[in-house]
Structure 1
Amino acid sequence: MTETLYPELPTTRSSPLDPPAELGVLRETEPISRLAFPDGTLGWLVTSHALAREVLADNRFSNRAELQHSPIRAGGKPIPQQPPAKPGMFINMDGQEHAKYRRLLTGQFTVRRMNQLIPRIEAIVRDHLADVRAQGPGVDLVEAFALPVPSMVICELLGVSYEERESFQRNTKALFTLTKEFAEIRAAFERIEDFVADLVRRKHDEPGDDMLTGLIQTGELTDEEVANMGLLLLVAGHETTANMLGIGTLTLLGHPEQLAALKADPSLIDNTVEELMRYLSIVQFGASRVALEDVELGGVTVKAGEPVSISVMAANRDPAKFDRPEEFDIHRPATGHVAFGHGVHQCLGQQLARIEMRVGFNALFREFPDLRLAVPASEVPMRDDMAIYGVHKLPVTFS
C-alpha cells in the first residue's frame, strides 16, 4: 500500500447530512492513510469500519490525554498538547486507572436502572412537548425540546438544580465551538470545573438520591475525583443527545416515507434510533488514539508515538459493513455501528441516550403527526462550526 500524505483531515461535508466525499474515496482506496496533524505531527487516518473497530479494541493504542494530537483546529490554530488527565477524568486514561473509575460508574448505568428511568423521561418529554404546543407554530424545536429534555434528565441524575442549567449549557457549547481560540475553550472548561466542584461540596451537606451523592458515598473517591467524573457526565450527557434529537428530527422530516413507516409502526423506534446514530455520526471528527508500540494495521506499520484519527463518519458509511450505506433506512439492522465507540472506552451512557431518543421521537410525532419544517431545509442552520454536529435551530410548524 502506498503512503499518500493527506494534508489535513477532510471536514467540508458533501451535503448537510453526509460526510465529506473525500472520506469515502480514502476508505475505498487507502483505508488507513497518512495524515498531517495541525501541530505538524505525522500520523494516520482510519476510514474503514473494520480498522476502526480494530484500533478501538486494541490496548496497544492509548487514549491518554498527554499523548494525543488533535486532528482539528480551534480558532484556526492547532490545539496544544494537554497535560495528563486529572484524577477522575477517566475517558483520557488507560488500563487499570481507567477501569477503576469506570467500574464505579457501571452500576449507575445498567440497562435495568436506565429502564427504571423511563416513566420520568416520559414525563419530562410530555411537559416539554406541551411547551412546544403552547409556543405555537414556528417554534424552535432545539430550544423548546431537543436541548432541555436531555439537560433536565442529566441534571436530575447528577443532582444538579435545573435552574443552574443555563450556565453549564453556555460553557459546554463553548467547549465544542471550533471558531473559538483554545484559551476561550479552556476558560469555559475551568468554569464548568468550578461549578461541579462547588456542587460536590454542597452534596456533603445536602445529599440526595443522585449519582454524585452515590459516588461520594462509595468512600473510594476524593472530592476532586467525584467532581471530574461528574463533569464528564454532565458535558457528555446532554450535548450529544440534544443534537441527535434535533438533527434526527430534521432527518426524519427529510425522509417522509421512513417517517410514515415509523408512525405506522412505533415498534420500529429501536431500529430508527440505531440507524440515525449510524447515518448521522454526529461526533464529527471521530476518536483519536496513539500507538504505544509499533503496530501492524491494515498493511502498514503504525510506529510507537504516532497518532491515529478514526473517522466514525466514514466507518459508519462503509459498504463492506452496511448494505447501501448512503441510504437512510430504518428497516435495516443497523447494529454494529461505532457511533458510541467500541472497546473499553465505549460510551458509558449509551443506554440512557437510546431511551431518551426512543421516548422523544415517538412522543414528538405522536403529539404532532403533521410536524414539518417552518423554513426551507436549506435555511436550517447546521453546526458546521462545532465538534458535535447537529442543527443550531430547527423552526417547525404544525396544526
Structure 2
Amino acid sequence: MPKPPEVPVHRIRDGVDPVPELCRMAARTPLVRDDGPGANDWVVSGREEARAVLGDAQRFTTRPPAETAEASRRLVEPGNLLQYDPPEHTRLRQMLTPEFTVRRMRRMEPLIERIVEDRLDVLERAGKPADLMRHFARPVPGLVGCALVGVPRDDQAELARTLDIRSSGRGKKNIQAMKAFNAYMVRMVAQRRRAPGDDLLSMLILGHGEDLDDRELGGVCASLVAGGFENAAEMLALGTLVLLEHPDQLQLLRKQPELTDGAVEELLRHVSVVSTASPRTALADVPMGDQVIKAGDLVDVSLFAANRIQPPGAPPDRFDITREQTNHLAFGHGIHFCVGAALARMELRIAYAALLRRFPDLRLAVPPGELRFRPLAPQYGLEVLPVTW
C-alpha cells in the first residue's frame, strides 16, 4: 500500500493490519527518534515501554508544550481529562469513577439493547446493500452517549447528528459542530441544576455541583460523549469488518456466543482504533534503554504497535477470539485509562451479538479493496461500510 507522505509511519495501516515499515521500525528498537513528516520527537512501539510512558504521570504530561504555565493553562479544554495533570485530573477522576462502575453501567443495559434493536430495524428497512456506518455503527454510540448524560429524547437525534459532523467533518463545518455541541452541553448543565434527573450529569451536579462550574461540567460531559462516540463507532464498524474477513472466527462465535466477551477483547486489541495515545511531553530527562528522552521532547506512544506487533522470535500475530486475554492497551494505561471502558465493553458486546443474530448471512457488499479508510482521523476508521445479507 503506498504511504501518504504527510502521515507518520506509525499512523499508517494496511486495512486493519500493520504495514511492513512499522514492523521493521518496531523490530529495530521499541523507542525510536522519528524525523519523518508530521511526527513528534519519539515514537514508542514496545508494550512495556508504552506502559512505562503512559504510567508515569510525574515525568510525562498530556498537556502540550508551552513557554509558560499560563500559556499551557489556556490550551486546556475545560473538563477534558486527557488534558489534565494531577491534582486537577485526580479531582475530576475521583468524581467520575463511581458513576462508571460495572454495576452502575449495567443499569443502562436495557436501554442500550433497545437502541441497538431500533437501529437494526433502521438498517433492515434501508434495504440491501446498506451502509453499516450510517445506519448502525455511528447512531448507536451517539444515542447511548446522549442517554448517558441525560439529553432529552426530543434532542437526541439532532445532537447525535451534530456529534457525527463534529467527529467526522473537517474545516469550518467541524469547528461549527464542535462549538454547537459544547454549547449545548453547557446549557444542559444549567437546566439540570434547576431540575436534576436520573442521569450522569445530574449525579455529578448533586454530588459535586458546588465544586464545578458550568463550563467544566459541560466540558466533562462533552468529552465523555464525544470520546465514547468516536471510539465505539469505529470499533463497531472495524470489528464487524474483521469478523467478516475471518470467517472461521465468525463461525466459531456464532456457534459459541459465550465467547462474545473474549471476542470483544480480541477485537479491541486487534483493531486499536486509537492508533496513538495523546502525545506526551517529557517533564524531565527520562532514560529508556540506551537512549534518553529529554525534558520538553514530545513522545508518541503507538498503542496499535504495542498491541499488534510481536517481539522478535515470537509467533506471528493473528486474530483469535479464544486468545487467553492479555492486558491490551486499547483503552490506554495509567491515570488516563479510559474511564468509560466498562460501558464501551458492554455496548460492543450487545451490539455485535445483536447484529450477528439479526443478520446470519451478513457479508461485505463490495470487494475489501474498495473500502476507504481514514488514516488521518484521531480514531482510525472507515468512510462507509457497505454490507448485505
Matched with 1:48 is 46
Is the CA contact (8 Å cut-off) linking 1:68 and 1:290 kept in structure 2? no
Q: 1:61 and 1:309 mapped to 2: Cα distance?
A: 15
Superposition pairs for residues 75-224 of structure 1, below 5 Å? 83-165=74-156, 168-169=159-160, 172-173=163-164, 176=167, 180-181=170-171, 186-218=175-207, 219=209, 220-224=211-215
Matched with 1:76 is none
Classify the secondary structure of the residue corresponding to 1:309. Answer: strand
- Alignment equivalent of 2:238, drawn from 228, 244, 247: 247
- Alignment equivalent of 1:278, drawn from 269, 272, 277: 269
Deviates more, 1:155-164 or 1:242-251: 155-164
Superposition pairs for residues 342-357 of structure 1, below 5 Å? 342-357=333-348
C-alpha deviations, 1:50-78, integer Å up to 9, x for none? 10011111123333423289xxxxxxxxx
- Tell me: CA distance 1:188–1:65, structure 2 relative to 1, closer, same or farther (3 Å): farther
Matched with 1:59 is 57
The alignment status of 1:27 with 2:16, answered yes or no, reads: no
Q: 1:307 and 1:174 mapped to 2: Cα distance?
A: 30
CA positional deviation for 1:164: 3.5
CA positional deviation for 1:262: 0.2
Is the CA contact (8 Å cut-off) linking 2:166 and 2:174 kept in structure 1? yes
Superposition pairs for residues 235-314 of structure 1, below 5 Å? 235-314=226-305
The alignment status of 1:390 with 2:381, answered yes or no, reads: yes
Q: 2:141 and 2:285 mapped to 1: Cα distance?
A: 41
Whichever residue aligns with residue 331 of structure 1, its letter is T
Classify the secondary structure of the residue corresponding to 1:347. Answer: coil
Consecutive unaligned residues of structure 1, counting only runs of 5 or more, are: 1-6, 70-79
- Tell me: CA distance 1:302–1:384, structure 2 relative to 1, closer, same or farther (3 Å): closer
Q: 1:42 and 1:371 mapped to 2: Cα distance?
A: 41
Is the CA contact (8 Å cut-off) linking 2:8 and 2:37 kept in structure 1? no
Q: 1:82 and 1:186 mapped to 2: Cα distance?
A: 21
Identity %: 38
Is the CA contact (8 Å cut-off) linking 2:105 and 2:343 kept in structure 1? yes
CA positional deviation for 1:168: 4.6
Deviates more, 1:265-274 or 1:85-94: 85-94
Give the structure-2-normalised TM-score. 0.89
- Tell me: CA distance 1:155–1:170, structure 2 relative to 1, closer, same or farther (3 Å): closer
How many residue pairs align between the two structures? 379
Is the CA contact (8 Å cut-off) linking 1:62 and 1:94 kept in structure 2? no
Q: 2:167 and 2:145 mapped to 1: Cα distance?
A: 18
Whichever residue aligns with residue 367 of structure 1, its letter is R
CA positional deviation for 1:109: 0.3
Q: 1:212 and 1:321 mapped to 2: Cα distance?
A: 48
- Tell me: CA distance 1:215–1:368, structure 2 relative to 1, closer, same or farther (3 Å): same
Matched with 2:350 is 359
Q: 2:11 and 2:231 mapped to 1: Cα distance?
A: 20
Give the structure-1-normalised TM-score. 0.87
Classify the secondary structure of the residue corresponding to 1:348. Answer: coil
Whichever residue aligns with residue 27 of structure 2, its letter is E
Q: 1:134 and 1:348 mapped to 2: Cα distance?
A: 35
Q: 2:240 and 2:284 mapped to 1: Cα distance?
A: 43
- Tell me: CA distance 1:152–1:68, structure 2 relative to 1, closer, same or farther (3 Å): farther
Matched with 2:331 is 340
Matched with 2:3 is none
Q: 2:120 and 2:58 mapped to 1: Cα distance?
A: 47
CA positional deviation for 1:11: 5.3
Q: 2:353 and 2:193 mapped to 1: Cα distance?
A: 39
CA positional deviation for 1:307: 1.1
- Tell me: CA distance 1:33–1:392, structure 2 relative to 1, closer, same or farther (3 Å): same
- Tell me: CA distance 1:90–1:327, structure 2 relative to 1, closer, same or farther (3 Å): same
Is the CA contact (8 Å cut-off) linking 1:200 and 1:212 kept in structure 2? yes
Whichever residue aligns with residue 309 of structure 2, its letter is D
Classify the secondary structure of the residue corresponding to 2:34. Answer: strand
Classify the secondary structure of the residue corresponding to 2:325. Answer: coil
Consecutive unaligned residues of structure 2, counting only runs of 5 or more, are: 1-5
CA positional deviation for 1:171: 5.0
